[in-house]
Amino acid sequence: MEAGELLERFEAFVASEGKIESDSWMPDAYRKTLVRQISQHAHSEIIGMQPEGNWLTRAPSLRRKAILLAKVQDEAGHGLYLYAAAETLGTSRDEMVDALLDGTAKYSSIFNYPTPTWADIGAIGWLVDGAAIMNQVPLCRCSYGPYARAMKRVCKEESFHQRQGFDILVTLCRGSDAQRAMAQDALDRWWWPSLMMFGPHDGDSPHSATSMRWRIKRFSNDELRQRFVDVTVPQAHFLGLRIPDDELVYDDTTGHWKFGEPDWDEFQRVLAGDGPCNAERIERRTRAHVDGAWVREAAEAYAAKHVAAPAA
């Protein structure tokens, strides 16, 4: 079959909600986009363990510590499902990890911000996992089967994470003046970076149009950002916190909250590696990778001895 005809059939198939599997024919650009997005997503989960891991030894109670430990372990699991989904496209785990460590692959900008207080753990769960759910629930219907299936479990776990974050903030906001101030300070620092998680405006997003046509993305970056604001503002009001945006106003005619502009220069700086914690995150990840070499070597030695090679 001619390449043009294959592409036409592929486009019609995804447009009719067909699922592409690893052995299906797909255009090179579709494969490339998926490897890029899924591996970046996996890296975000793995790097995302660091800001929260920072509080594992200092959680305010045994119960909070057990919950946080479970959440951080969940993020590691998400990274593994996602690396496995990307591997079905013919890329290797080593290639993906190398790209993360040498700075050629991106991970979510949000994980380059510090977590100086316990309220930051609440804010990450509430806002960062909240934004992640908004972005990732539609990915459960992604046209690439292995990614869509991985996302179903990820999203169930993210909902639990969002609730545990909100619960931390409910407790702080019902506490002392100092605790409420700590919660407000965390919201002030995490609000704008959370809005940046959805990516650039639609007009500045080079990948969106094709990814939407191929049913990888279902909604544009701006559509998802608006949904997130609409859902989150009433939650902030419930907590008695103020969203740090003087332009935030409810628009009766559209039923949506209008909001101000994130600092896109800051977003570009963080993407370019110059955020508050970029260097620290990669340095720590590199150290963990080097320190873990013996585990990979032991697993390979075990597999060589005990796991039968597939029949030729």
Asked if 45 interacts with ligand BYC (CB under 6 A), we say yes
Binding residues among 265-294 for ligand BYC as defined by CB under 6 A: 271
Binding window for ligand BYC (CB under 6 A); candidates: 105-113, 167-175, 242-250, 277-285: 105-113
Binding residues among 51-80 for ligand BYC as defined by CB under 6 A: 75
Q: Is 26 left (phi over 0), alpha (psi -120 to 50) or beta?
A: beta
**How far are the Cα atoms of 19, 175, 191, 218 from residue 293, in angstroms, in the given order?**
37, 45, 38, 39
Q: How far is the CB of 294 from ligand BYC (least distance, A)?
A: 26
Asked if 40 interacts with ligand BYC (CB under 6 A), we say yes
Instruction: Give, for 250, the enclosing helix (H) or strand (E).
Output: strand 249-251
Residue from 205, 223, 256, 266 binding ligand BYC (CB under 6 A) = 205
Q: How far is the CB of 211 from ligand BYC (least distance, A)?
A: 5
Residue from 20, 26, 121, 196 binding ligand BYC (CB under 6 A) = 196
Three-class SS of 172-224: HHCCCHHHHHHHHHHHHHHHHHHHHCCCCCHHHCCCHHHHHHCCCCCCCHHHH
Asked if 200 interacts with ligand BYC (CB under 6 A), we say yes
Instruction: Please give the DSSP secondary-structure letter assigned to residue 58.
Output: T
Q: How far is the CB of 200 from ligand BYC (least distance, A)?
A: 5
Residue from 203, 206, 255, 310 binding ligand BYC (CB under 6 A) = 206
CB nearer ligand BYC, residue 12 or residue 209: 209
CB nearer ligand BYC, residue 45 or residue 245: 45
The span from the CA of 273 to the CA of 263, in Å, is: 16
Residues with Cβ within 8 Å of 218's Cβ and at least 6 positions away in sequence, in order, are 138, 139, 141, 142, 212
Residue, CB closest to ligand BYC: 48
CB nearer ligand BYC, residue 180 or residue 197: 197
Closest among 225, 221, 216, 305 to 257, alpha carbons compared? 225
Closest among 119, 116, 245 to 182, alpha carbons compared? 119
Binding residues among 215-244 for ligand BYC as defined by CB under 6 A: 217, 221
Tokens of 66: 């057990």
Q: Are 146 and 21 in contact (CB under 8 A)?
A: yes
Q: Which residues are near ligand BYC by CB under 6 A?
A: 36-37, 40-41, 44-45, 48, 75, 106, 108-109, 128-129, 132, 135-136, 196-200, 205-208, 211, 217, 221, 271
